[in-house]
Amino acid sequence: MMLRTPRTLLHDPHGPWLWILGPAFLAALPHFARYPLWIGVICVGMWILRLWATQHPALMPSRTIRFALTLGCIGGVYLSFGYLLGPEPGTALLLLLLALKPFEAQGRRDQVLILFMAYLLVLLQFLHSQSMLVAGYMTLVVLVITAALVGVAHPASQTDPRFRLRQAGVLLLQALPVMLILFVLFPRLPGSLWGLFQAPRTGLTGLSDTMSPGDISELLQSSEVVFRVAFVDQPPAVSRMYWRALVLWETDGRTWRVGEPEGEPRQWRVRPRGEPVEYVLTMEAHDQRWLPVLEMPLAEGWARQEGVSVDALPDVSPETIPGSEADTPGIMAEELALASDFLLEVREELRRRARFQLQAALEFETDAPTSGEHLRALELPLSGNERARELARSWATTAMDERTVVDRALHFFRDETFDYTLRPPLLGEEAVDDFLFRTRSGYCEHYASAFTFLMRAAGIPARVVVGYQGGDRNPLGDYFVIRQYHAHAWSEVWLEETGWTRVDPTTVLAPERIDVGAGALVPNIDMPRVLSSREMGWVISAWRGLTQGWDAANTLWNQWVLDFGFERQRRFLERFGLAGTTRLERFGHLVLALSLSFVAAALIYGVIQLRSRPPEDALDKTYARFCRRLAKIGIPRFPQEGPRDYALRAAGLRPDLAEPITAIGEGYIQLRYGESPRPGRDIPGASSPEVQQRELTRMVRAFRPRRA
């Protein structure tokens, strides 16, 4: 039978394993996209084999085969990654372990272990993408894993996924308050903790002073905030935001390096044309000295502002930028220094967040390079990449001027079938030739590298600039967030007329990247083409509303989840007078968080208990109130006393109250034990028990006896 309903799939013998391997598969799915194909193939293959083996035990691999497979997997990971200790190969090994584990899983405990590893996989995915989309998917995965965990404790519901999902859903919903309390109160650390598992040169550390193919696309996986910028006046267009961090001069044809300049770094000057742009940059700690500055920084811009406090600035208050609270030094002019190549740098490695007020010129003229710089900007390895050199020389010999050569190169990129991809194929020894004539697909560093190489081969002084491009505008705070995925590389060429001129060869290929920034590439939500007709206007506006809603949700997610770190937590807690500065106080937060979350869980439980208690009888409640009121004036009801005796005794003790006491007592007896209303005797106008009861309630409410 090929067609089987999912229900029957959940029956024995595969059912129990499907409940374990299904959640594992869902948790592993996003990882497969990131890793070499063979890992996903092995995982899925092994899991299918395991399900099969429930019916054909002969398929179970022997101990020897399993051992060989394990060794093979470790070897494969080493070959694919080049090292074993680190989050990346570690995750790959975990995936493979998860593929092999089912074959030696004996009982319940091993199955639970697989589910725990699935939870771990969910977390590891967050190291790579923290978008709301991923978080939403992972919430579902956590629900399914939890449902499977419920199944381990309740095997009878094997064929009833709704039961398990409902149980898990209830648990998840009730866990939300606990999660929020812990999330808000759990003490955060400023910056990363210990570099124990940190991979060598992983994307999270940001740009480095070398650039090889693949370096920047690695950064694209990370949404870690690098810096934030608030403009004093109108912000420039996003496509003009080129944040220069490092200038790379030397190459071996594949990797670019900053290199060692000869002699002292030269003082430079940028002559602005038009109004300079003034902005405040809040840099996250990155343990480096480079500072990404808007092209081109004005050397006197920061110096002029020396000694001016942030509060004196007209439009940029410290509140505008998250994480820039009072104790962060506003101006750090004395800590800034001119670096070569129109760059600024910090005097010491930046180990904490810092703010700088800077000025930039978007239209500018620069000094001519010195002869030494001129030579360095033309330097190429002695040999290699001959086809590229030849191509460049052919352009140079036929072109009128340098500008034409630049245009020809850009035309070459646009007209030939060059692709823009985040997953470029690997390049061989002759990296530039390989890229230009064989693979023809790559990310910005491929283009910047190849373009600069071509320019130098054509005799035009050129260099590579790495930094960031664009920024995510935060509409709530009116500032821009620049994250690791904005990392970019481009070229600067020396032209007689304009001085050092930025050329971004990537723009000819993928203009949308420059217009909206790389952030939009990551969770890409484009309007479907089908909907673009005019009749569908309302659909389009609805779609717009949706995307705007999505955007707003994303902003909230960014603000309240992704940016909720050390500083943000402190500012948030300060509002409640909980700001802890000493370690002891922060430890207090932890205790507070844990006890509060336990209280929250208990409260939730209490609410459930109350709700599930059978509703108290309204009549009894009313009568109990009557008894309480009598007890208050000294006539408590004895445990053995019936309502009639009680009423008689009370009326005898307090003749003044006899009338209401008798009426209430009779009314209660009638409602509780009477068969049907007896008109004329009891409560006047009594018809239905409901009316009687309402009347009784009213009487009891009005019954306010005082001590005699």
Partner 1 sequence: MKNRRSDHLPVRLGTNRIYILPTKTGTAYAILLVVLLLISINYTNPPGYLLTFLLTGIALVGIFHTHRGLSGLLISQGPASPVFAGDRAKFPVTVTNPSPWARYGIQVGWSRVETGPLKDVPVTGEQTFRPSLPAANRGELRPKRVVVATVFPLGLFRAWSWVALPLHCMVYPAPAPRASLLDQHNASPDQGEERPRTGNPLEGEEYHGLRAYQPGDPLRRIAWKAVARGSELVSKEFGSAANQEAIVLDWDRLANEEIEARLSRLCRLVLDAEASGRAYSLQIPGKRIPTGSGPRQMRACLTALALFAMPDAQTLNEAPR
Residues in touch with partner 1 (CB under 8 A): 87, 109, 112-113, 116, 119-120, 122-124, 126-127, 130, 134-135, 138, 142, 146, 149-150, 152-156, 167-168, 171-172, 174-180, 182-183, 186, 188-189, 191-194, 196-197, 204, 561-565, 597-598, 601-602, 604-605, 608-609, 612, 614
Q: How far is the CB of 123 from partner 1 (least distance, A)?
A: 5
Helix (H, G, I), strand (E, B) or coil at 389: helix
CB of 175 to partner 1, least distance (A): 3
User: What radius of gyration do the chain's Cα atoms show?
Assistant: 36
The pair of three-digit structure tokens given for residue 601, joined into one six-digit string = 């869980």
Residue 400 CA, distance from chain mean position: 51
Cβ 198 to partner 1 shortest distance, Å: 8
Q: Which of 286, 504, 589, 682 is flagged as catalytic?
A: 504
Instruction: Return d(Cα 518, Cα 226) in angstroms, integer.
Output: 14
Cα–Cα distance, 441 to 669 (Å, whole number): 91
617 is a catalytic site residue: no
Q: Between 16 and 213, name the residue whose CB sits nearer to partner 1.
A: 16
Closer residue to partner 1 in complex, CB, 38/119: 119
- Show Cβ contacts of residue 481 under 8 Å, excluding neighbours closer than 6 positions: 225, 228, 471, 472, 474, 558
Least distance CB 542 / partner 1 (angstroms)? 29
SS3 assignment, position 510: coil
User: What is the Cα–Cα distance from 57 to 44, expressed in whole angstroms?
Assistant: 19
Nearest to 453 by CA among 273, 251, 702, 312: 251
Q: Choose between 206 and 330: whose C-beta lies nearer to partner 1.
A: 206
Token pair listed for 83: 């090292």
Calpha distance 624→629 (Å, rounded)? 9
For tokens 């694209």, what's the residue?
220
Question: Would you say 83 or 598 has its CB closer to partner 1?
Answer: 598
* Residue 176: CB minimum distance to partner 1, A: 7
Is position 444 annotated as part of the catalytic site? yes
Environment class of 543 (CB within 10 Å of its CB; exposed 0-12, middle 13-18, buried 19+): middle
Please return the burial class of 582, using the count of CB atoms within 10 Å of its CB with bins 0-12, 13-18 and 19+.
Answer: exposed
Q: Which is nearer to partner 1, 52 or 598 (CB)?
A: 598
Query: If we measure between CA atoms, which residue out of 509, 512, 475, 469 comes closest to residue 490?
Result: 469
Nearer to partner 1, 283 or 294 (CB): 283
CB of 625 to partner 1, least distance (A): 26
Largest CA distance in the chain: 126
Select which of 31, 446, 486, 488 is catalytic: 488
* Angstrom distance (rounded) from CA 305 to CA 310: 10
- Alpha-carbon distance of 467 to 487, in angstroms, equals 6
Cβ proximity to partner 1, 333 vs 594, nearer residue: 594
> What are the backbone angles phi and psi of residue 524, rounded to the nearest 5°?
-85, 115
Q: How far is the CB of 594 from partner 1 (least distance, A)?
A: 9
List the catalytic residues. Answer: 444, 488, 504
